[in-house]
Amino acid sequence: MAFVFISHRAADIASAERLGRAVNAVGHAVHLDRWEVRIGDTVPMFMNDTLATADFLVLGHSTLGIHAPWIAQEFLPALAADLSSRGIIMLPVILSGAEAPTRLGGRPCLDLTTNWDRGVAAVLRELG
């Protein structure tokens, strides 16, 4: 079982939750802000705590929100963690938008907007 943190922009919560349910259904533990952040918690605190135990970061990207502040706040700590010895594997996925980049943070992107089922199957293969 892997511990999977799904990062996303607020507008993509439905897709992030759908992906989270699929990942959870095969036995992985999913960390998703909507499911875990409570009144009084801060999103940066949640991200830091979750990244401390995560095996994978599924970085949900949207070409509609490329300049959204949360993308930078979630992406940069994740990239730093990925490049360190913490062993977190980053899996960038496109959750919404058009003209998806082929790479994000130097990693190939998986576009879930074109074929959801095939994309989710690819994510699950990566998670093991």
User: What pLDDT, in 10s, does the model give residues 10-65?
Assistant: 889 999 999 999 999 999 999 998 888 788 878 888 888 888 889 998 988 777 66
How far apart CA 118 and CA 110 sit, in angstroms, is 10
- pTM strictly above 0.85: no
Summary mean pLDDT of the chain: 81
8 Å CB contact between 82 and 90: yes
CB atoms near residue 96 (< 10 Å): 19
d(CA 120, CA 125) in angstroms, rounded, equals: 9
Q: Phi/psi of residue 102, each to 5°?
A: -80, -20
What CATH number was assigned to the domain covering residues 3-127?
3.40.50.10140
At residue 94, the pLDDT reads 87
Contact 36, 46 (CB under 8 A): yes
Say what the pLDDT of residue 104 is: 64
